[in-house]
Amino acid sequence: MNKIYPSAAEALKGVVADGQMLAVGGFGLCGIPEALIDALRDSGVKDLTVISNNAGVDGFGLGKLLDTRQIKKMISSYVGENKEFERQYLAGELELEFTPQGTLAEKLRAGGAGIPAFFTKTGVGTLVAEGKELREFDGHTYVMERSLVADVALVKADVADRSGNLRFNLTARNFNPACAMSGKVCIVEVERIVANGELAPDDIHLPGIYVHRLVHNPTPEKRIEKRTLREHK
């Protein structure tokens, strides 16, 4: 089975559609699937629910899809770097489901593992727990959280072999493996594609069974959110 597609647009063709739930990897701008996000924008699909730690920044990453109003709802843990995200939410133009960061990661992981729900202390006694089941375990109160299963996962990795086995680069791994596991269909953008057998088994971070399509993007921009420079004296 050939998992490699000639472009990001071709990799999305026949998979993405209006009204879907998408899980998109990345943390800030680190480890985001830049080419797939651009192709998603160009596809024109709309009314999307997007699961992602945040929504990029103004004009880059998922921020591009906010500019084109293709996103109906965000399931996120952080808004701060994107003024348009904040503006749309406060104006009632964008639905937002705030989720504690660790809970968001576990909701994705659980969805990929076939676990429909789990209990956590995080959020008990706050707005996060409103309307959710509470249960006592060993004298402590926990809130039940439902897992997340996305229609499509868009993921960024450093290296893939032709079977879709993935290796991520340092902190760019972040939410990407969890997003990949949670997607019914997983499309991965990679900087390098190598032959089967070139990745040592212990170097594989995510097995190819989770990966349906690959697209090669050897030169992503990798924009830096905030550049802090120190003057040399």
Write down all domains in the chain, each with its CATH number in brackets: 4-116+148-216 (3.40.1080.10)
Expressed in angstroms, the distance from the first to the final Cα of the chain is: 58
pTM for this entry: 0.93
Phi-psi region for residue 92, left (φ > 0), alpha (ψ -120 to 50) or beta? left
Q: Could you tell me the CA-to-CA distances from 202 to 32, 167, 171 in Å, in that order? A: 24, 10, 18
Q: What is the dihedral of CA 30, 31, 32, 36, to 10 degrees?
A: 150
Give me the residues of the chain with pLDDT under 50, please: none
Dihedral-angle region of residue 203 (phi above 0 means left; psi in -120 to 50 means alpha; beta otherwise): alpha
- The residue type of 225 is E
DSSP H helices in the chain: 8-12, 34-43, 63-67, 83-90, 101-112, 176-182
pLDDT at 217: 97
Close Cβ partners of 228 (under 8 Å, ≥ 6 residues apart): none
Q: Please tell me the predicted confidence (pLDDT) of residue 80.
A: 73
How confident is the model at residue 88, as a pLDDT? 93
Q: Measured between alpha carbons, how far is residue 212 from residues 9, 113, 163, 166, 207 in Å?
A: 15, 17, 9, 12, 11
Contacts of 224 (CB under 8 A, 6+ apart): 29
**Phi, psi at 97, each rounded to 5°:** -110, 100
pLDDT at 39: 98
